[in-house]
Amino acid sequence: MAKSNPPWTLGQLAELLQGELHGPADLLINGVTSAGSADAESIAFAETDEYREKAEQVPLGALLVGPGMTASVPYIVVPAPRSAFFALLSWCDRPLQTGEGVHPTAQVAASATIEPGASVGPFAVVGEDSVVEAGSVIHAHGFVGDRCRIGAGSVIYPRAVLVQDVILGTRCIIHPGAVIGAEGFGFVWDGKRRIKIPQVGGVTLGDDVEIGANACVDRATAGQTRIANGVKIDNLCQIAHNCEIGEHTVIAGACGITGSVKIGARCVLGGGVGTNDHISICDDVILGGRSGVDRDITEPGAYFGTPARPIGEAMRAFVLIPKLPEIWSRLKKLEKKVGE
Amino acid sequence: MAKSNPPWTLGQLAELLQGELHGPADLLINGVTSAGSADAESIAFAETDEYREKAEQVPLGALLVGPGMTASVPYIVVPAPRSAFFALLSWCDRPLQTGEGVHPTAQVAASATIEPGASVGPFAVVGEDSVVEAGSVIHAHGFVGDRCRIGAGSVIYPRAVLVQDVILGTRCIIHPGAVIGAEGFGFVWDGKRRIKIPQVGGVTLGDDVEIGANACVDRATAGQTRIANGVKIDNLCQIAHNCEIGEHTVIAGACGITGSVKIGARCVLGGGVGTNDHISICDDVILGGRSGVDRDITEPGAYFGTPARPIGEAMRAFVLIPKLPEIWSRLKKLEKKVGE
Amino acid sequence: MAKSNPPWTLGQLAELLQGELHGPADLLINGVTSAGSADAESIAFAETDEYREKAEQVPLGALLVGPGMTASVPYIVVPAPRSAFFALLSWCDRPLQTGEGVHPTAQVAASATIEPGASVGPFAVVGEDSVVEAGSVIHAHGFVGDRCRIGAGSVIYPRAVLVQDVILGTRCIIHPGAVIGAEGFGFVWDGKRRIKIPQVGGVTLGDDVEIGANACVDRATAGQTRIANGVKIDNLCQIAHNCEIGEHTVIAGACGITGSVKIGARCVLGGGVGTNDHISICDDVILGGRSGVDRDITEPGAYFGTPARPIGEAMRAFVLIPKLPEIWSRLKKLEKKVGE
């Protein structure tokens, strides 16, 4: 389907999505919204009756539904409402605007290379020996320090910082306020005070990596902190020095991954997960939100809790925490009875 | 009471605060301090003898005390020491300075509107079709992307970022480093890699909203992430896409509110609270620090713990966690006894 | 030992480090790396056979080992491999470059003082009555607001913000995105809405303090938030208003220190630790990662868990959490047996 910007008529949408129209063809739809969010000029989607009911409770322009479903607002029946909705989302996407070439206020070091087709915004800084490849965008206030490489088609959002020695693959997205390549946190105590261990390594990101807003990825003490292809890291996460994160792993908001931790491929970390230093987590591990991983995980599967354990076991323990007072009183009662 | 900047004499203060002077009228007071913090030229307050004793342990210029109290340093008796102290605080307030109008280095898009009486600082950026209403201040390095509206009398501190499609009510305060309107964290796995779900919605803040330093509020996938009137969000909080936070709710530092969570009005979240996705918390809920909310909360009241439960119940469980070894050994002892 | 930049030959390194060469003297070594990280042109170190084996599993240029050790790659025997490695690290250090004096794009208030030998980078801002002492560096995009003092030899990394009334000792390092001196989070509820308590204090840092990337240290309501000499605070930590942190204390990533908390000297806080408001922690306390401190700690020692308790006790409880289902079922079994 070709991109079609809003506004649409409902009839146009039915045609574009190859769906079945139930409602006025000339109804104007200005955008998309989520089920349950009031917006009389937008279209939402519902795969189930539960979501349809949620959507119908507030003013809504129209609804995308699945085969066999109806709705109390104008609707279009499509084979896969979610996919159809994603198409609409992409048609509504209006990326943050950027100028062509290097903005006159940007500071680009003489030894840096800005490839043709790259865009460098107002007040952006590009340091010594750095390379910004074709089709990349460094938005306003982006800071790219010395010896960095921004792979083709990457986007550095406003105020993201690549301190130094940071290598990005192609099509990476660095969200606002993210800091990549700051010094790792390493000191030795000499008996009187802490002496800084020089942090001289770098950070290497693969292709299609996303780093969330105000997240931090420190550079290695020596060598590289490595984030593999396809990894997605959410806002406010901390990835300490010398970590290695495997391909296509997803790390939700506010996780704290401590120094030299290895996480395998295709893992999914819920929000607020923390780890012990120097542990390894194998491929295909799912960690429930706020889990605390105290040791290596060597078997794929779902884990949860602090300490993190296989999820079935962990959930059985988790629901018993509020029962501790009952356990305690029943134990004392039993002691009394047995004592008698 | 009219604003009266320091320095004051103690006599002046007694008169301004309509209090009873016990000490030299010509003693010079340069500012305010908190009880227990050494500062021989400042005045603190103490509502109770406990705080008075704390204040007297360090060098202090003078003390505001309540009726019937005395002190070993010069003091003023006032009916309500805390309120009198807040008045002094407001007289000491020296807001970060800002120039008039648009600073010559600021980059304002041709289609943007800066209303008269608004101030836009050095290196600030205002994007396409954005509006900065009268009396608002965008401090140095503030970034306001495309299609934003900054309500009258709002303050955008240095280096705050409003990425795009962010609407602020009147008198909002966005602290340094906050990122509002970054893309939500949403992907679908296609069997080989994660495909980004376009995030095309916005963020709507009501009036009198505060967003803390380096906090993040993501824009909605579709529709709006909504923060209602009077909401106060502290530093380093994460508010994910499509959340809705009700009027006058307060969220302390480092909370992680996951996607599509609804929080009611007048709630108070302690620091470090986390939530499960898609849950609802009703009005007038208090959540103790670091609670983990695993399910809907439908009754007003105080809750605590992970999983969060009514506070009485939760505290009884919480204090028993350190007793687990005792429970374990007493259980085994009992088993042995019963086995016999 | 004098600084010697890479590349080195292995023979040169043996001589510089006064070690015993086992391998080709003319082998070219381009840099340093960590044991277990593949890099055929770099040198790593191993104090134990375990680390040596880890290092040998991947391509590696050479290895520093201790007395009596050998290796399957070229190696140098030195008395103290770790110290020798730290020397190499320092020789590899390439600090982010900075120009001399004040960059023409920087905005320095007329009442501010930039001492000779200080460097102020592109787009940096220095506010009214602020002082940047000799040898300090304010990197690009650094924001130093009104009435700040940057002690001699300090480094303000790109995009760090000192909002106002922030005093730094000598040789401080403020990492990218850190926000020091934002308003503390204080409100009073007047029955209808929250009224802001003016936050008019400052922040005072001692000498040799480090504040991590995207960390926040709020200014005091009145008086000072105090961070003593030698304190090191990692990325994404929150230090609320009126906290006092004692000398040489280390706070790892993502800790949340709430309002008016006092932490003593030489404490070590693991990542993700949180505290209750207004508590005190004495000198020489070690807190395990993600501990939740609910009350004063008055005895030096190691603590862990939520609620934080002496570590031996806490670990015994911690490992029993996963055993709760077993405790529960054994208790019920016992009740049944006793009931009979």
Residue A101 contacts by C-beta under 8 Å, 6 or more apart in sequence?
A114, A118, A119, A120
Question: B224 to chain A: which residues are within 8 Å by CB?
Answer: 37
Query: How much is the pLDDT for C4?
Result: 84
Q: Is the pLDDT of residue B2 over 80?
A: no
Of all residues in chain C, the one with the smallest CA distance to B335 is: C334
Q: What is the pTM of this model?
A: 0.96
Domains and CATH numbers, chain A: 8-92 (3.40.1390.10), 101-317 (2.160.10.10)
Which single residue is written with the structure tokens 């996705």?
A: B277
Go through A282-294 and write b for each residue having 16 or more CB atoms within 10 A of its CB, e for each that does not. Answer: bebbbbbbbbbbb
Question: Subunits touching A (CB < 8 Å, at least 3 pairs)?
Answer: B, C
Query: How much is the pLDDT for B63?
Result: 97
Determine what percent of chain A is predicted with pLDDT higher than 90: 95
Helices marked H in chain C: 10-16, 49-56, 81-92, 311-318, 324-339
Band of residue C55 on the pLDDT scale cut at 50, 70, 90: very high
Q: Please provide the size of chain B in residues.
A: 340
Q: Distance (Å, rounded) from C-alpha C207 to C-alpha C229? A: 5
Question: B159 to chain A: which residues are within 8 Å by CB?
Answer: 159
Contacts 24+ apart (CB under 8 A), C76-80: C76/C10, C76/C13, C76/C14, C76/C17, C76/C19, C76/C20, C76/C21, C76/C22, C76/C23, C76/C43, C77/C19, C77/C20, C77/C22, C78/C17, C78/C18, C78/C19, C78/C20
Question: C242 to chain B: which residues are within 8 Å by CB?
Answer: 34, 37
Q: Is the pLDDT of residue C2 over 90?
A: no
Angstrom CA distances, B268 to B252, B301, B302, stand at: 8, 10, 9
Q: Tokens for A292?
A: 């605390």
Name the 3-class secondary structure at C36: coil
Of all residues in chain C, the one with the smallest CA distance to A127 is: C97
Q: Distance (Å, rounded) from C-alpha A51 to C-alpha A68? A: 15
Closest-CA distance, B58 to chain C, in angstroms, reads 13
Q: Is B175 on the interface with C (CB under 8 A)?
A: yes
At A290-312, the pLDDT tens digits run: 999 999 999 999 999 999 999 99
Of all residues in chain B, the one with the smallest CA distance to A97 is: B146
At B59-90, the pLDDT tens digits run: 999 999 999 999 999 999 999 999 999 999 99
Query: How much is the pLDDT for A1?
Result: 60
The answer to whether residue A139 is catalytic is: no
Query: How much is the pLDDT for A4?
Result: 85
Does residue B7 have a cis peptide bond before it, meaning omega lies within 30 degrees of 0?
A: yes
**Amino acid identity of C158?**
P
Q: Which of C127, C182, C242 is facing B97, going by the closest CB pair? A: C127
Q: Is the pLDDT of residue B288 over 90?
A: yes
Query: How much is the pLDDT for B4?
Result: 85
Q: Is the pLDDT of residue B1 over 70?
A: no
Band of residue A14 on the pLDDT scale cut at 50, 70, 90: very high
Band of residue A37 on the pLDDT scale cut at 50, 70, 90: confident
Q: Is B327 on the interface with C (CB under 8 A)?
A: yes
Question: C86 to chain A: which residues are within 8 Å by CB?
Answer: 188, 197-198
At A81-99, the pLDDT tens digits run: 999 999 999 999 999 999 9
DSSP string computed for C244-282: EE-TT-EE-TT-EE-TT-EE-TT-EE-TT-EE-TT-EE-
Is there a contact between B254 and B233 (Cβ–Cβ < 8 Å)? no
Q: Distance (Å, rounded) from C-alpha A72 to C-alpha A75? A: 8
Question: C97 to chain A: which residues are within 8 Å by CB?
Answer: 127-128, 146
Mean pLDDT of A202-229: 97
**Cβ separation A159–B143 shorter than 8 A:** yes
Question: A85 to chain B: which residues are within 8 Å by CB?
Answer: 222
Angle, helices C311-318/B324-339, rounded to nearest 10 degrees: 60
Q: Which of C93, C123, C235 is facing A216, going by the closest CB pair? A: C235
Q: Is C234 on the interface with B (CB under 8 A)?
A: no
Average pLDDT, chain A: 96
Is there a contact between B178 and B156 (Cβ–Cβ < 8 Å)? no
Q: Is B74 on the interface with A (CB under 8 A)?
A: no
Q: Is A216 on the interface with B (CB under 8 A)?
A: no
Closest-CA distance, C92 to chain A, in angstroms, reads 6
Band of residue A340 on the pLDDT scale cut at 50, 70, 90: low
Q: Is A320 on the interface with C (CB under 8 A)?
A: yes
Q: Is the pLDDT of residue C130 over 80?
A: yes
**Cβ separation A159–C158 shorter than 8 A:** no
At B167-214, the pLDDT tens digits run: 999 999 999 999 999 999 999 998 999 999 999 999 999 999 999 999
- Within 10 angstroms of residue B112's Cβ, the number of other Cβ atoms is 20
Mean pLDDT of C234-241: 98
Is there a contact between A239 and A257 (Cβ–Cβ < 8 Å)? yes
**Cβ separation C163–B176 shorter than 8 A:** yes
**Cβ separation C236–A238 shorter than 8 A:** yes
Q: Which of A32, A122, A253 is facing B200, going by the closest CB pair? A: A32
Q: Distance (Å, rounded) from C-alpha B255 to C-alpha B292? A: 10
Q: Is C82 on the interface with B (CB under 8 A)?
A: no
Question: B330 to chain A: which residues are within 8 Å by CB?
Answer: 331, 335
Of all residues in chain A, the one with the smallest CA distance to C141 is: A141
Q: Is B65 on the interface with A (CB under 8 A)?
A: no
Q: Is A220 on the interface with C (CB under 8 A)?
A: yes
Q: Is the pLDDT of residue C277 over 70?
A: yes
Comparing CA positions, the residue from A234, A243, A236, A252 lying closest to residue A277 is: A243
**Cβ separation A177–C177 shorter than 8 A:** yes
Q: Is the pLDDT of residue A49 over 80?
A: yes
Which single residue is written with the structure tokens 């779900």?
A: B197
Q: Is B123 on the interface with C (CB under 8 A)?
A: yes
Band of residue B340 on the pLDDT scale cut at 50, 70, 90: low
Q: Distance (Å, rounded) from C-alpha B112 to C-alpha B243? A: 28
Q: Is A301 on the interface with C (CB under 8 A)?
A: no
Residue C340 contacts by C-beta under 8 Å, 6 or more apart in sequence?
none
Residue B158 contacts by C-beta under 8 Å, 6 or more apart in sequence?
B96, B121, B139, B140, B141, B142, B176, C125, C143, C145, C161, C163
Angstrom CA distances, C286 to C243, C281, C295, stand at: 18, 10, 15
At B129-157, the pLDDT tens digits run: 999 999 999 999 999 999 999 999 999 99
Q: Which of A253, A322, A338 is facing B240, going by the closest CB pair? A: A253
Query: How much is the pLDDT for B312?
Result: 95
- From the list A139, A141, A175, A241, the catalytic residue is A241
Comparing CA positions, the residue from B293, B321, A287, A289 lying closest to residue C324 is: B321
Angle, helices C324-339/A311-318, rounded to nearest 10 degrees: 60
- Please name the residues between 260 and 299 in chain B that touch chain A, using a CB distance below 8 Å: 260, 274, 276, 292
Q: Is B98 on the interface with A (CB under 8 A)?
A: no
Q: Distance (Å, rounded) from C-alpha B322 to C-alpha B105? A: 59
Q: Is the pLDDT of residue C219 over 70?
A: yes
CA pseudo-torsion sign A311, A316, A317, A319? positive
Rg of chain C over all Cα atoms, to the nearest angstrom: 26
Question: B249 to chain C: which residues are within 8 Å by CB?
Answer: none
**Cβ separation C89–A316 shorter than 8 A:** no
Question: C276 to chain B: which residues are within 8 Å by CB?
Answer: 289
Q: Distance (Å, rounded) from C-alpha A266 to C-alpha B308? A: 30
Question: C254 to chain A: which residues are within 8 Å by CB?
Answer: 238, 254, 256, 274
Which residue in A103, A174, A183 has the most chain C C-beta atoms within 10 A of its own C-beta, making it the best mutation to test that interface? A183
Q: What is the 3-state secondary structure (H, E, C) of chain B?
A: CCCCCCCEEHHHHHHHCCCEEECCCCCEECEECCCCCCEEEEEEEECCHHHHHHHHCCCEEEEEECCCCCCCCCEEECCCHHHHHHHHHHHHCCCCCCCCEECCCCEECCCCEECCCCEECCCCEECCCCEECCCCEECCCCEEEECCEECCCCEECCCCEEEECEECCCCCEECCCCEEEECCCCEEECCCCEEECCCCCEEEECCCCEECCCCEEECCCCCEEEECCCCEECCCCEECCCCEECCCCEECCCCEECCCCEECCCCEECCCCEECCCCEECCCEEECCCCEECCCECCCEEEECCCCEEHHHHHHHHCCHHHHHHHHHHHHHHHHHHHC
Mean pLDDT of A243-253: 98
At C64-112, the pLDDT tens digits run: 999 999 999 999 999 999 999 999 999 999 999 999 999 999 999 999 9
- From the list B139, B175, B241, B248, the catalytic residue is B241
Mean pLDDT of B109-134: 98
Comparing CA positions, the residue from B137, B254, C159, B193 lying closest to residue A157 is: C159
Mean pLDDT of A208-235: 97
Mean pLDDT of B208-225: 97
Q: Which of A125, A223, A330 is facing C37, going by the closest CB pair? A: A223
Query: How much is the pLDDT for C324?
Result: 95
Which residue in C123, C185, C323 has the most chain B C-beta atoms within 10 A of its own C-beta, making it the best mutation to test that interface? C185
Which single residue is written with the structure tokens 């500062």?
A: B39
CA pseudo-torsion sign B317, B318, B321, B327? negative
